[in-house]
């Protein structure tokens, strides 16, 4: 039988109470006999419930289970980053994992957590409370944290995945906000004004920004893909977007004036329109986003950003009656559910079907029919005035305000009629005849 207890440190204020006191954070030890062998050692945990579960597992299997490998947080992240780089993940994804690594290592150093196994549910919850991200960014960061601990759990660096017990923040989806047609016209007009206000060394970028705006609006590409747009992807008016998993290429058709604008756009190199192909694409994308913000400011378009061109592309197609499945393919979404999540309110056929269903349902509603009939009788009546009857002479004499009913038998129920003896009527008739 095994017994767990806290081995109080010298600095513990409850050391004088001995083994019986367990409401402190001193290391937990185990003492007893297991499998005929005397055992007395540290469990290397401080959580009492976790220590009980660990000892219970030992007693069930009649042997000690393997302990997690004591891996430092820095070494664990080093192996994890090597793994995601071997998986050829996107550079932006790797950059976000590296940011999480720096934040987690700073927190571990601040709290004195030397090994990864020290991150229990309480510590992970405290770590998340230090994040200053919004709800959506915080939810994505929590997914990355769970992926890291899942990687560590597979390699037995931690006894469990503490990030699984953290609930994701509540996310309120913002409605898709495409540019109106008037705003697009103002943006194109602001491009010419932007070229006039550009300094001498940025005149060529001022000429390129018109081609970039038209490319974003009529291709539905993301800002990163548009900046990385190369000449070999454009053949006549056909623009190559991507290749599906089945190996089928997906192309889009550009209007002729957009193709002419791209041909008039000065190229940075023979292959690329908007960057040289050297360095980091993220840095160039941020530079173009800064230029676009200046254009939106000149056009007096509040909350303008490059992704709204993509929203405008999708919404205009849906309003034109293009099916959701085809728009999803053009946008490059992995599933049509992603497209429905953001653009379902803009589907014209669905809105028309909803209106038809509501009209059909209201036509059979009894209350609607009742009010419709009453309204029809009022409107069809030739007398436009409302008739009223005076009841001034219907009261009884002597100033009684109780109205006299002419035929109480038709109004009152039999239970409320006054009692009459069966022979009362005959006696009155006999007296009358006499």
> Could you tell me if 302 and 203 lie in one domain?
yes
Same domain, 137 and 17: no
Classify residue 335: in a domain, yes or no: no
Res 334: pLDDT = 86
pLDDT at 262 over 60: yes
Where does 265-347 have alpha helices with state H?
Answer: 281-298, 307-319, 324-331, 336-343
Structure tokens at 360: 């059909």
**DSSP three-state, residue 41:** strand
Grade residue 390 by pLDDT with cuts at 50, 70 and 90: very low
pLDDT in tens, 404-426: 455 544 544 444 445 454 554 44
Check whether 434 has a pLDDT greater than 80: no
Quick: pLDDT tens for 101-124.
Answer: 999 999 999 998 888 988 999 999
CA distance 141 to 129: 12
pTM reported for the whole predicted model: 0.60
Together in a domain, 291 and 223: yes
pLDDT of residue 381: 53
Judge if 151 and 237 occupy the same domain.
no
Considering only CA atoms, which of 137, 140, 141, 104 is closest in space to residue 123?
A: 104
- Predicted local distance difference test score (pLDDT) of residue 67: 59
Domain boundary (41, 61, 81) is at 61
Which strands make up the sheet holding 238-243, listed edge to edge? Answer: 234-235, 238-243, 249-253
What's the CATH code of the domain at 99?
A: 1.10.150.130
* Torsion 230-233-237-243 (CA) sign: negative
Which of 22, 20, 54, 49 has its CA nearest to residue 39? 54
DSSP 8-state class, residue 310: H
Tell me, yes or no, whether 193 lies in a domain: yes
More confident residue, 434 or 38: 38
Rounded CA-CA distance 431/434 in Å is 5
Say whether 269 sits in a helix, a strand or coil: coil
Are 186 and 228 found together in one domain? yes
Position 399 in a domain = no
Helix (H) or strand (E) holding 73, with range, is: helix 73-86
Q: Contact at 8 Å (CB) between 128 and 149?
A: no
- Eight-state DSSP code of residue 17: G
pLDDT > 70 in the chain, percent? 82
Please count the other Cβ atoms lying within 10 Å of the Cβ belonging to residue 84.
Answer: 18
Q: Which residues pair with 29 in a beta bridge?
A: 5, 42
Looking at the domain assignment, is residue 339 inside a domain? Answer: no
**Using a CB cutoff of 8 Å and minimum separation of 24, what contacts does 227-235 make?**
227/274, 227/275, 227/281, 227/284, 227/285, 227/288, 228/272, 228/274, 228/275, 228/281, 229/272, 229/273, 229/274, 230/271, 230/272, 230/273, 231/267, 231/270, 231/271, 231/272, 231/273, 232/271, 234/259, 234/262
| Statement: residue 432 has pLDDT above 50 | no
Tell the residue number behind the tokens 């849906």, with chain if given: 318
C-beta neighbour count of 226 within 10 angstroms:
22
Q: What angle do the packed helices 336-343 and 307-319 form, to 10 degrees?
A: 90
pLDDT tens digits along 62-72:
766 555 668 89
Domain co-membership, 155 together with 194? no
Q: Is residue 340 part of a domain?
A: no
Number of neighbouring beta carbons within 10 Å of residue 247? 6
pLDDT tens track for 25-81: 898 888 888 877 888 888 878 888 888 888 888 787 776 655 566 889 999 999 999
Q: What is the mean pLDDT of the chain?
A: 82
Residue 254: CB atoms within 10 A of its CB come to 20
Same domain, 250 and 146: no
pLDDT digits (tens, 9 = 90+) for 185-236: 999 999 888 887 776 656 778 889 999 999 999 999 999 999 999 999 999 8
Looking at the domain assignment, is residue 78 inside a domain? yes
**18 alpha carbon, distance to own chain's centre:** 52
Domain end marker among 252, 284, 317? 317
Q: Bigger pLDDT: 402 or 344?
A: 344
Domain count, the chain: 3
Of all residues in the chain, what percent carry a pLDDT higher than 90? 40
Within this chain, do residues 211 and 111 fall inside the same structural domain, yes or no? Answer: no
Helices (H), 230-306: 256-264, 281-298
Tokens 């100033």 correspond to 399
Give the pLDDT score at 408: 47
- Per-residue pLDDT band for 248 (boundaries 50, 70, 90) equals confident
Statement: residue 1 has pLDDT above 90 = no
Residues 310 and 220 in one domain: yes
pLDDT at residue 33, rounded to an integer: 85
Domain check: are 57 and 77 in the same one?
Answer: no
Domain that holds residue 242: 181-317
17: pLDDT strictly greater than 80? yes
Q: Is the pLDDT of residue 388 over 80?
A: no
Q: Single out the residue in 18, 33, 61 at which a domain terminates.
A: 61
CATH number at residue 251: 1.10.443.10
- Please check whether residue 418 lies inside any domain of the structure: no
Answer yes or no: is 285 within a domain: yes
Instruction: State whether 203 and 266 are in the same domain.
Output: yes
- Residue 220 and residue 160 share a domain: no
């Amino acid at each position: 039988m095994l017994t767990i207890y806290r081995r109080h440190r010298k600095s513990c204020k409850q050391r004088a109470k001995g083994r019986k006191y367990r409401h402190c954070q001193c290391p937990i030890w185990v003492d007893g006999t297991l499998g005929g062998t005397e055992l007395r050692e540290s469990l290397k945990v401080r959580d009492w419930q976790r220590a009980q579960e660990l000892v219970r597992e030992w007693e069930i299997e009649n042997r000690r289970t393997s302990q997690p490998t004591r891996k430092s947080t820095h070494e664990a992240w080093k192996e994890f980053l090597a793994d995601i780089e071997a998986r050829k993940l996107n550079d932006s994804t790797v950059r976000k994992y590296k940011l999480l690594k720096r934040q987690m290592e700073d927190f571990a150093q601040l709290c004195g957590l030397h090994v990864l196994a020290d991150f229990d549910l309480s510590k992970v919850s405290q770590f998340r409370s230090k994040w200053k991200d919004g709800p959506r960014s915080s939810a994505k960061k929590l997914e990355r944290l769970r992926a890291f601990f899942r990687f560590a759990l597979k390699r037995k660096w931690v006894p469990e995945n503490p990030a699984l017990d953290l609930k994701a923040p509540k996310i309120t989806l913002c409605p898709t906000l495409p540019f109106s047609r008037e705003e697009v016209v103002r943006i194109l007009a602001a491009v010419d004004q932007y070229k006039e206000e550009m300094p001498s060394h940025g005149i060529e970028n001022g000429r390129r920004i018109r081609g970039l705006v038209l490319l974003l609006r009529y291709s539905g590409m993301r800002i990163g893909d548009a900046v990385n747009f190369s000449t070999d992807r454009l053949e006549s008016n056909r623009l190559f977007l991507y290749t599906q998993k089945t190996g089928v290429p997906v192309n889009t058709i550009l209007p002729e004036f957009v193709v002419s604008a791209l041909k008039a756009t000065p190229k940075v190199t023979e292959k690329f329109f908007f960057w040289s192909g050297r360095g980091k694409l993220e840095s160039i994308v941020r530079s173009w986003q800064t230029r676009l913000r200046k254009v939106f400011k000149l056009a007096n378009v509040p909350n303008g950003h490059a992704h709204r061109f993509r929203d405008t592309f999708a919404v205009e197609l849906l309003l034109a009656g293009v099916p959701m499945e085809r728009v999803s393919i053009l946008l490059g979404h992995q599933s049509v559910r992603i497209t429905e999540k953001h653009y379902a309110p803009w589907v014209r056929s669905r809105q028309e079907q909803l209106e038809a269903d509501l009209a059909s349902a209201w036509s059979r509603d009894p209350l609607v029919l009742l009010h419709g009939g009453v309204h029809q009788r009022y409107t069809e009546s030739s007398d436009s005035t409302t008739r009223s009857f005076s009841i001034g002479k219907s009261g009884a004499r002597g100033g009684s305000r109780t109205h006299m009913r002419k035929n109480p038998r038709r109004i009152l129920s039999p239970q409320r009629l006054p009692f009459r003896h069966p022979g009362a009527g005959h006696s009155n008739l006999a007296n009358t005849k006499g």
